[in-house]
Structure 1
Amino acid sequence: MDYRFDAIVIGSGVSGTSAAYALNEAGKKVAIIEEREWGGTCVLRGCDPKKVLAGAMEAHNFSERLRGKGIKQVAEIDWKDLQDFKRSFVEPVPESRLEGFQEAKIETFKGSAAFLDAHTVQVDADTLAAEDIIIATGARPSIPDIEGNEIFLTSDDFLDLETLPKRIAFVGGGYIAFEFAAIAHAAGSEVHLIHHNSRPLKGFDEDHVAMLVSSLKSDGVHFHFDTDVERLTRKESGILLSAANLTLEVDAVFATAGRKPNIERLNLEKAGIKTNRHGIIVNQSLEAIPHVLAVGDVAITPGLPLTPVDSFEADFAVSYILGKKQEIHYPAIPSVVFSSPKLAEIGLTAREAMQEKDGYHVNEIDMKNWYTYRRTNEYLSHAKIITEKGTEKNCWRVFYQ
């Protein structure tokens, strides 16, 4: 069938859902398209289920720090019970999200969207046309191109494991690898984190990353830096990882070396939309071409791949469609690694501040003896605070606790 709308949103994650509701509330006739479950990555396969698992990790580590200080034994994680608890958050989402769209009179289409031209997309046998289109299809785990890469599991698989493998390897050095490594170790697995160079979590303060690595090492997580995995081989006793400087056998290996944009099935060339391996190329107003905007992880923007950034870009795109024509400017947005301890940052980096010594102070604070951290027996809590000389205005902070 042929349909006509004021606006089409492709993708029902955080940014797509936010945009669809906002356009609908502004009086637009809106359609939203989703090829997987309604709800998108964050609530189904990302930050929300991850934080449920991380909550159990925090409880385990909290009780471990207080053992002998009022707590007699360390809390033990029951992986099956934890997964059941996680599913209580995740499983209701698709039906609830669909019901919400239907109640708001937002038309829903399930299937892969493919552009026919700049204003028209096809979803199975249906053809949808609109003046404005927002692409919010997000990203998915990237799989390294090595021999035996079909053996790799992904973050989606980790978050839905029925049983936790005894020996786990995470290939990659980003925040997903560090978070999952901390969770799996707290739950009782032998954990290995393998990274191709010596600088994991490259977007974060180098000193604090070194502290986090040292802390996880002391807890028992194994790190293998400057290691390129060349081959995976399935054997009766497990999975063999082979590199020039490492041979390691584990029970499961996860690709945690980044994500790739969901653009392949969109037929973007039919609309004249340009892309590269990082996603859809957009201008300073998030336009890929006139009247087609891309937001969230599928778009190449200065914004970090974070849920608040997705929402911010969605709000901007809606305002742009509704007539507020301007360029997007990003505020300082915090970024957090939910490992143990946590690592967080916002704003100007210490490296940047040190390059402008006449303009900034870089103040380092060891906070482990502060009451806030002593009462929970934190063994590591550190901050860097950057202040502007003259005004003493805080420009950037890194908290590690």
Structure 2
Amino acid sequence: MTAYDFDLITIGAGSGGVRASRLAAEAGRRVAVVEGSRVGGTCVMRGCVPKKLLVIGAGFASELADAEAFGWRIEGAEFDWARLVAAKNAELNRLETIYARVLREAGVTLVEGRGTLVDPHTIQVGERRLTAATILVATGGKPFLPTLPGIEHAITSNEALDLMQLPRRAVIVGGGYIAVEFAGIFNALGVEVTQILRGEAILRGFDPDLRAAQTEEMRALGVDIRPRTLVRAIERDRTGTRVLTADPEGNPGETIETDLILYATGRRPNSAGLGLEAAGVEIDERGAIIVDAFSRTSVRHIWAVGDVTNRLNLTPAALAEAGAFVRTAFQGCPTAIDHQLVPTAVFGAPPLATVGLGEDEARRLYGSVDVYLSRFRPLRQGLTGREGRALVKLVVERDDDHVLGVHVIGPDAPEIIQGFAVALRCRATKAQFDATLGVHPTAAEELVTLRQRRPEPVPPSAPDADATDSPSLSPAPEPDAQPQPDPDTDPEQTAPDPS
């Protein structure tokens, strides 16, 4: 029998890689994890955690603005962006230390450097060659920049997290998680934000009512959302930076003067340069590693989890896949992860959260569905005078009454949705929702007090040549409404569990 240096080598010390390595080591395996950047990966170092910290920091702007309506007098409040970034970086350093300690205490060998596959059992790290009986690839994803004149003047979310000063004006290109969240951060802190979309609406793949309401709320807060707009070039000279736009047909459009341009038009699996071809591992046209339901690649002893597989690009999915991999590969318990009914949140302004099917997808899959929707002014805004509105929506299968989708927009949406995800996993019915007493006064209680069913949509009498997926609170179906993944979405939405 061949002697290997390790039983398992994991390439990538992000959420999935750390979880898998620790669990395998605790199961008695000899494990090494190879990381060429920072332990913690995208979510902890370049994604959900630092971004959420910035979201929290920006959120104090509205807290301070509203405080006066509740009897507080706050004078001389000032915001220091550089101080927030420094505090964020200190927290990331603390988390990286914790992740490294978790690996060390589990007995995992941390190898610093970029790992590449030399053959199906060998990984090159600098001058070292390491061998393993089993290899796990957990290298995540990375931001994608298109090819166009002047693209070198744009930044991605990686650089946006480390800006040392706020711009006065910012152009954000994209309509997914990252774009919506940074638009909220910058706008709350006084930046003049223009958001450019190639399509008709933000957040493609989400329920159309959420898309419409989120667009309305963002515009009310001052974000200039420009749909059906393309960037044809970026120019920079000593007079400033300009974004040259075009319409969908390629006709030249407006030139936008800006101080910063952030591209958030998608991420790609971080698979290039790993030597996958040399090892015989198959990838698809987007660079995603092709795996089966158990995360095994085309090479029997090589596995992959997380965003590099481009299945469901969310941190909890990577963590779950990592645990299932260990059970399957080392504990004799083949385990596949169910990627359905996974809750997700967009930490925009306001935040939104969803679990299950949107209305259009539910109609496509089930035919007859019932829809319940309420938009209301949150209690807090009764004193502040602000006009923002919250939204709750249920999509229910008509035949057996079980709830197919729960959708929420409002300050507490991400916290609310987690409990309702459990309810959907248990196939809760609308009758059970109705029989549940609410906590009053809260926004969450709206989900158990919805009684008025929305009328059925009226099908169009003839195809509309101008029909698009534009945001509207009408129930008209939207042909592109699909569950994730979406090239404009952010693969990391929740903070990881280092344990």
TM-score of Structure 1 vs Structure 2, range by shorter chain: over 0.9
User: What does residue 326 of structure 2 align with?
Assistant: 318
How far is 1:220 from its partner? 1.3
Conservation of the 8 A alpha-carbon contact between 1:115 and 1:270? yes
CA distance in 1, matches of 2:35, 2:137: 11
User: What does residue 414 of structure 2 align with?
Assistant: none
CA distance in 1, matches of 2:281, 2:166: 43
Kindly indicate whether residue 364 of structure 2 is the aligned counterpart of residue 344 of structure 1.
Answer: no
Q: Give secondary structure in 2 for the equivalent of 1:284.
A: coil
Unaligned 5+ runs, structure 2: 246-251, 411-499
User: What does residue 262 of structure 1 align with?
Assistant: 270
2:306 to 284, 296, 308: 296
User: What does residue 272 of structure 1 align with?
Assistant: 280
CA distance in 2, matches of 1:6, 1:55: 42
CA distance in 2, matches of 1:314, 1:378: 44
How far is 1:372 from its partner? 7.6
Q: Give secondary structure in 1 for the equivalent of 2:199.
A: coil
Kindly indicate whether residue 188 of structure 2 is the aligned counterpart of residue 180 of structure 1.
Answer: no
Aligned pair in 2 of structure 1 residues 67, 217: CA closer, same or farther (>3 Å)?
farther
User: What does residue 306 of structure 1 align with?
Assistant: 314
My pick for the range that moved more, 2-11 or 289-298, is: 2-11
How far is 1:357 from its partner? 6.6
User: What does residue 221 of structure 1 align with?
Assistant: 223
My pick for the range that moved more, 277-286 or 135-144, is: 277-286
1:150-189 to structure 2, matched below 5 A, reads 150-189=152-191
When normalised by structure 2's length, the TM-score is 0.75
Unaligned 5+ runs, structure 1: none
My pick for the range that moved more, 110-119 or 15-24, is: 110-119
Q: Give the residue type in structure 1 aligned to 2:138.
A: A
> What fraction of aligned residue pairs are identical, expressed as a percent?
34
Conservation of the 8 A alpha-carbon contact between 1:173 and 1:195? yes
When normalised by structure 1's length, the TM-score is 0.93
User: What does residue 365 of structure 1 align with?
Assistant: 374
RMSD: 2.2
Aligned pair in 2 of structure 1 residues 241, 103: CA closer, same or farther (>3 Å)?
same
User: What does residue 254 of structure 2 align with?
Assistant: 246
1:90-169 to structure 2, matched below 5 A, reads 90-169=92-171
Q: Give the residue type in structure 2 aligned to 1:257.
A: T
Deviations 1:160-181 (A, max 9, x none): 1111111111111111011001
Q: Give secondary structure in 1 for the equivalent of 2:353.
A: strand
Q: Give the residue type in structure 2 aligned to 1:333.
A: V
Aligned pair in 2 of structure 1 residues 3, 166: CA closer, same or farther (>3 Å)?
farther
Q: Give the residue type in structure 1 aligned to 2:49.
A: D
Deviations 1:51-101 (A, max 9, x none): 111112222123334543434459653212211221221122334433332
CA distance in 2, matches of 1:374, 1:311: 41
Q: Give the residue type in structure 1 aligned to 2:9.
A: I
My pick for the range that moved more, 166-175 or 18-27, is: 166-175
1:195 to 184, 194, 197: 197
How far is 1:214 from its partner? 1.6
CA distance in 1, matches of 2:381, 2:308: 39
Aligned residues: 397
Q: Give secondary structure in 2 for the equivalent of 1:204.
A: coil
Q: Give secondary structure in 2 for the equivalent of 1:287.
A: coil
How far is 1:388 from its partner? 3.0
Q: Give the residue type in structure 2 aligned to 1:78.
A: D
Conservation of the 8 A alpha-carbon contact between 1:164 and 1:189? yes
Q: Give secondary structure in 2 for the equivalent of 1:266.
A: coil
Aligned pair in 2 of structure 1 residues 56, 351: CA closer, same or farther (>3 Å)?
same
Kindly indicate whether residue 28 of structure 2 is the aligned counterpart of residue 20 of structure 1.
Answer: no
